[in-house]
Amino acid sequence: MLWAGFVFGLLGSFHCVGMCGAIALTLPGRADVGGASLRYVAGRLLYNLGRVTTYAALGAAAGLLGQGLRLAGLQQSLSIASGLLILLLVAVPEPYSARLAAALGLSRPLAWVKNTLTHLFQKEGGWALYATGVLNGLLPCGLVYLALAGALSAPGVAGAALYMACFGLGTLPLMFALSLTGQLVPLRWRMRMRQAVPYVASVLALLFIVRGLGLGIPYLSPRLSAATMQAPATQPRTTHSCH
């Protein structure tokens, strides 16, 4: 399902333009007259790679949670729960993401993130742009929450991190181009693609639910045996004589 993370990020990047476009358009540094310098382009790329780094780290955290649930024999239930969680997040309006963060006690960490971003915008250099991208990935975003819900059912910690990295790479082309060229996509098309995000997320959610149902459909919804769903048993230790 790694391709699903990339496709979701690619289509959801129009949502990113609306939510994080202001940051991408006001990054420090100037292009040379007559075109963008290599340093300028590299700085914009580092900013976007910083976002991908944070998404991968968040994916690893989601993978740890998902791995614990799988070891409890909840592999199929986890896939279904991930799909239902995505549908629930789709139904929650975007402004409520900030309220959710406050309810979870994240107001102070988010205030630190925003203050640090303000400080970084006064700096120049690749390290500052990369750090800006890393912190940008921590800002409340319904699209990221949707992707993390999908990462929960990815196979293992590395699989969840890779899923979120693919999601981040999917957002990279448009966000990178936006940071270079400004208002790349007309507002009308940005609004239309942003409106399409909930529908794309709903299709992704249905895929997770169908996969978790184990309907015996090859690749899409394989039937898992009881042995596959159980955590591997601990092998008994064998003692060796030292004679």
pLDDT digits (tens, 9 = 90+) for 2-23: 778 898 888 888 777 766 777 8
**What pLDDT, on a 0 to 100 scale, did the predictor assign at position 99?**
67
Integer-rounded Cα Rg, in Å, for the chain is: 21
The full length of the chain comes to 243
* pLDDT given at position 131: 95
Predicted confidence (pLDDT) at residue 58 exceeds the cutoff of 50: yes
pTM higher than 0.75 for the full model?
no
- Tell me the CA distances in angstroms from 194 to 89, 132, 143, one per residue in order: 15, 24, 10
CA distance 84 to 78: 10
Residue 195 half-sphere exposure, CB side, CA atoms within 13 Å? 6
Which of 49-58, 93-102, 115-124 has the largest mean confidence? 49-58
Q: What is the pLDDT of residue 169?
A: 95
Separation of alpha carbons 103 and 100, rounded Å: 5
**Average pLDDT, integer, range 36-47:** 86
Distance (Å, whole) CA 110 – CA 196: 28
**Helices (DSSP H) in 95-237: which residue ranges?**
96-103, 107-120, 126-136, 142-151, 156-181, 187-213, 226-229
Instruction: Label residue 59 by pLDDT band (50, 70, 90).
Output: very high
Once rounded to an integer, what is the mean pLDDT over residues 166-170? 94
Q: What is the pLDDT of residue 130?
A: 95
Give the whole-angstrom CA distance, residue 217 versus residue 208.
13
Q: How far apart are CA 63 and CA 159, in angstroms?
A: 7
Paired residues of 221 in beta bridges: 217
- Asked whether the predicted pLDDT for residue 236 surpasses 60, the reply is no
CA distance 149 to 205: 9
Q: What angle do CA 65, 99, 130 make, to 5 degrees?
A: 65
